[in-house]
Amino acid sequence: MEYRLLGRTGLSVSPLCLGTMMFGPWGNDDHDDSIRIIHRALDAGVNFVDTADVYSGGVSEEIVGKALKGRRDEVVLATKFFMPMDDAPNHGGGSRKWIVREVENSLRRLGTDYIDLYQVHRPSAVMDVEETLGALTDLVRQGKVRYIGSSSYSGSQIVEAQWASRERHLERFVSEQPPYSILVRGIEEDVLPTTLRHGLGTLVYSPLAGGWLSGRWRKDAAGRPTSAARPNARFDMSSPANQRKLDVVEELALLAEKEGITLIELALAFAINHPGVTSAIIGPRTMEQLESQLPAADLQLSEAVLDRIDELVAPGVTLNPDDNSYGAAELTPEARRR
């Protein structure tokens, strides 16, 4: 497996990053089986692991911590904060109060004394990014965090954060984590050019489009979401946008078959072959799913295949806007009314 630099850091990471959202009650609640899956990924050369405090209410971090005992130094370990952990006030968000408290919780659950990449899970629509960056800068200086990153930031939010870091002499985000797949290409228009321009690493999530590109969702066999955490609008078969997605998936399946690869391999290779993408986050729930995804790490797609994909889904286009995870606050009626 060929490793890549994470932006302008000195960290070398695998082109596939093991996402752990599906380990715990949200997906696979068998801790021993989840640990075996993590170990198999590490043995295959995956050295990048991504989790979040909110995944299964902290259980995912606990499973990762158990799995990395004795192997912590092999891994670039990333986690995230921001989403509410319960209904209590101030138990979420990007405030200094919450960051200083929650990093200790993540460190305890992960069984480590430092986090390689600590990421803001979502931007705040109301809070100044300088407060978040200031608290994260303190964590870096204390040695609890090595690098900081963002997730689901728009192009303008990425630039704003970079400007604030430079202007206030704060730690800068070294990475961005946006959604990206053949069906969700919106970041090609603005986010990816912005991360490239500012030298950020980009680790994309949902490269299988929430299961749409796994083969589970076909015209003759529509599946069901594997996690209650996934928005229902993304799987509403009465939606014209989702019907269009089914049509595209059929064509992609034929393209993959013609190339002698699986639909999963095609989808993952598409994501990691983009020059702006550092790593694609895979989220297996079972060992079988992991094994089906690992071969994509070394797969190169031909120009002809990429051209055909562009014919099916134009660059920069997201077929169903519900698949995006950013821009929601800006598009609410309250924000748009004159």
Per the DSSP assignment, residues forming a β-bridge with 279 are 203
Structure tokens at 224: 């069901």
Question: Residues 6 or more apart from 317 whose CB is under 8 A from it?
Answer: 185, 186
How many angstroms separate the Cα of 333 from the Cα of each of 186, 320, 336?
22, 19, 5
Name the active-site residue from 3, 55, 118, 147: 55
Q: Is 180 a catalytic residue?
A: no
How many angstroms separate the Cα of 307 from the Cα of each of 211, 274, 304, 310?
23, 13, 5, 5
Question: Residues 6 or more apart from 136 whose CB is under 8 A from it?
Answer: 99, 118, 120, 145, 148, 170, 171
Q: How many CA atoms lie within 13 A of 164 on its CB side?
A: 16
The 3-state DSSP class for residue 1 equals coil
DSSP conformation letters of 185-233: -GGGTTHHHHHHHTT-EEEEB-TTGGGTTTTS-BTTB----S-TTS-GG
Give the residue numbers annotated as catalytic, written as ranges.
55
